[in-house]
Structure 1
Amino acid sequence: MDSMVNFTPGPSQLYFTVADHLKKGFKDGIPSLSHRSKQFESIFARTTNGLRELLDIPSDYSIVFTGSATEIWERIIQNLVEEKSHHFVNGAFSKRFFEIAQQLNKKSTKTEVPAGSSFADSISIPEGTELIALTHNETSTGVSLSLPFIHSFKENNQECLVAVDAVSSLPYPSFDFTKIDSVFFSIQKGFGLPAGLGVWIFNRRCLDKANQLLAKGISIGSFHTLPLLHANAQKNQTPETPNVLAIYLLGKVVSDFLVRGATTMRQETQYKAALLYKALEDHTAIKPFVADKHNRSKTVIVAETGDRTEELTSFLQTRGFFPGEGYGSSKKNQLRFANFPAHSKEQFESLVDALSTFK
């Protein structure tokens, strides 16, 4: 086991091949590579083609790069909403998506439930809604929305676009892209890379919506509008000088994931999650924060640690395990454990063994 294992939900543990890819990238001059060069176009194509294969993204969906997933929140509202979006809020990050819509002067609405909870199976969407915004995995609370729940909105609200924040869940979930219009993530969580790159996946309906807004004279932003990102992506380019090194590294790690196999990674994620949840359920001093097993995230596991949070943190750190703090108001009474491909089964087994000795 490594001397230190970073279980923070992001930035999280680096995938074990990243250091070697980084060395090779520097040797080959990737950090100073022109983004208008044929070599960069090759890197862009290799990375997007790898993502398409790994995540089973249809050929008619575009893949573009931004500075972060936070940026994509804003770009989605600017490019896909003229007046109304509806947001499902069950934690700090889904709430921030909603707040960005408000800050951009949209008439946005929300369905909100308490932290640690999920939503009713059937929810009516307000009339006139253009975009339904869903957070698949709420990083602050460890609640995950079921794929059937996410996929249900397209059939029942065919005029709406459906956008999914999958920042702390991909590459684990297997989305049905026929039932969603846009998905996005950043690379410092499930892809085990340094922070600094967002990935935005969208279909033709999204592009058409952005062009419709433009035709009405509505501002949809400047250098990172959907039409401009799409037009550049068609040439394996970006509108601006991007994080070339991050795109290169993402392509390399995606290739590593493909060798490992998406099915294998998903099975290992489920095994590790089951192992840790069982340890928390059996413990006398700590427990899972999310009570309903059906709503528990497989990729961000939140432990209710109460007044023993600081003691447990120190106990784990002395053994080489560095958990993430609870988020916001839960900082002093919860710990969060990331469960990404960078975390091995052996590391989780050792973590569980350590927890069993904490009394």
Structure 2
Amino acid sequence: MKHNFGAGPCILPQEVFQEASQAVLNFNDTGLSILEISHRSKEFEAVIAEAERLVRELLSVPTGYSVLFLQGGASTQFAMVPLNLLPEGRKCAYLDTGTWASKAIKEARKVGEVTVVASSADANYTYIPKAYEVPADAAYFHFTSNNTIFGTEMLETPKADVPLVSDMSSDILSRKVNVADYGLIYAGAQKNMGPAGVTLVIVKDELLGKVGRTLPSIFDYQTHIGSGSMYNTPPVFSIYVSMLNLRWLKNKGGVKVIEQENIIKARTLYDEIDRNPLFRGTAVVEDRSRMNVTFITEDKAHEAAFLELAKERNLVGLKGHRSVGGFRASIYNALSIAGVNALVDAMQEFEEKTK
């Protein structure tokens, strides 16, 4: 059995794979594959309705918010957010905590004025800035909750007197979030919700339609709200597998239960990193991510040898991003504690071999 620590597209539960694979051959005894079924059929309408219902239930989405399943990944949301939320002549505020936050800032600047309230680029994004002020006249404040590449996470919601917008692509559904604190949340599915190809957007309806610009229909959230996420042909299979994964999460006990499992997994791995003299974490301790654990070998000469040992022990996807180096263990919802323990065992075995 392989333990998949890849950053994404990532591990999903085996039972989800099994049910999805059956649906590829024959979806709900229709005699048709989920890959060919009409998105206008009553069978798929039931799928997207259940997916929305599960998102609302698992995240306790309050009334007055729309739940959308869109295409184009979180990268499309980098542009859609300012297009829909930044009025002409206003400015927006962003926190720069990594690669994806920087890309979001770049796209927002193509729409209007952006104030970067703080950045951790000075230390290669190894920490989350703390001392910053969000301008009271900003249209919204955008932040990336979990930084997949650099292994930092914002586990507490920032305080601001303007609508909060968060890219939660890599920690959505991994911990409790009070959606009512946010104006908009978006997340590419391919970390904790489902396969690549669909992006979840949760938006407060009253924020929309106030920017004073005419938007192309496909980039207007109100278009997608009005058409129930089916303005154009939706990513049917990705939404279906996401629905199966949302069912799996509900059956486990929901976000409250999975958050406790994620805390245990992260603590287990970080404890070994801190104990083992051959390894060192790259993110500052108080900002360490529960989802993406980044670490290096104290002696760079050991890096290739450890990756080889990991491969022999069926631990895959551990090579770190080129901007950080070393290793990255992505321990998303579907990765079991057994997988984390297997990695810890390999680290201890490597320690013994190098004595």
TM norm structure 1? 0.89
Asked if 2 retains the 8 angstrom alpha-carbon contact of 1:187 and 1:198, the reply is yes
Structure 2 CA distance for aligned equivalents of residues 178 and 260 of structure 1 = 24
Give the aligned partner of residue 351 of structure 1: 343
Asked if 2 retains the 8 angstrom alpha-carbon contact of 1:79 and 1:221, the reply is no
Give the aligned partner of residue 178 of structure 2: 176
Letter in 1 for 2:138: T
Structure 2 CA distance for aligned equivalents of residues 90 and 107 of structure 1 = 19
Where do residues 10-89 of structure 1 align in structure 2 (5 Å cutoff)?
10-26=8-24, 27-28=26-27, 29-67=33-71, 68-82=73-87, 83-89=90-96
Give the aligned partner of residue 130 of structure 1: 139
> Is 1:140 equivalent to 2:149 in the alignment?
yes
Asked if 1 retains the 8 angstrom alpha-carbon contact of 2:59 and 2:179, the reply is no
1:288 to 281, 290, 297: 281
Which consecutive unaligned segments of at least 5 residues does structure 2 have?
A: 28-32
Give the aligned partner of residue 315 of structure 1: 309
Asked if 1 retains the 8 angstrom alpha-carbon contact of 2:195 and 2:242, the reply is no
Post-superposition shift, 1:127? 5.2
Give the aligned partner of residue 232 of structure 1: 227
Structure 2 CA distance for aligned equivalents of residues 162 and 182 of structure 1 = 7
> Is 1:165 equivalent to 2:190 in the alignment?
no
Where do residues 138-217 of structure 1 align in structure 2 (5 Å cutoff)?
138-147=147-156, 149-150=157-158, 152-153=159-160, 157=161, 160-191=162-193, 193-207=194-208, 211-213=209-211, 216=212
Letter in 2 for 1:96: K
Structure 1 CA distance for aligned equivalents of residues 184 and 36 of structure 2 = 31
RMSD: 1.7
Stretches of 4+ aligned residues off by more than 6 angstroms: none
Asked if 2 retains the 8 angstrom alpha-carbon contact of 1:164 and 1:183, the reply is yes
Post-superposition shift, 1:269? 0.6
Asked if 1 retains the 8 angstrom alpha-carbon contact of 2:16 and 2:248, the reply is no
Post-superposition shift, 1:291? 2.5
Give the aligned partner of residue 101 of structure 1: 108
Structure 1 CA distance for aligned equivalents of residues 182 and 167 of structure 2 = 11
SS of the equivalent of 1:30 reads coil
2:127 to 108, 117, 120: 117
Structure 1 CA distance for aligned equivalents of residues 56 and 76 of structure 2 = 22
Asked if 1 retains the 8 angstrom alpha-carbon contact of 2:47 and 2:243, the reply is yes
Larger displacement relative to structure 2 (341-350 or 318-327): 318-327
Give the aligned partner of residue 91 of structure 1: 98
- Number of aligned pairs? 335
Q: Pick closer, same or farther for the CA change 1:80–1:281 going to 2, 3 Å.
A: same
TM norm structure 2? 0.90
Structure 2 CA distance for aligned equivalents of residues 127 and 23 of structure 1 = 50
Structure 2 CA distance for aligned equivalents of residues 318 and 223 of structure 1 = 47
SS of the equivalent of 2:150 reads coil
Letter in 2 for 1:141: F
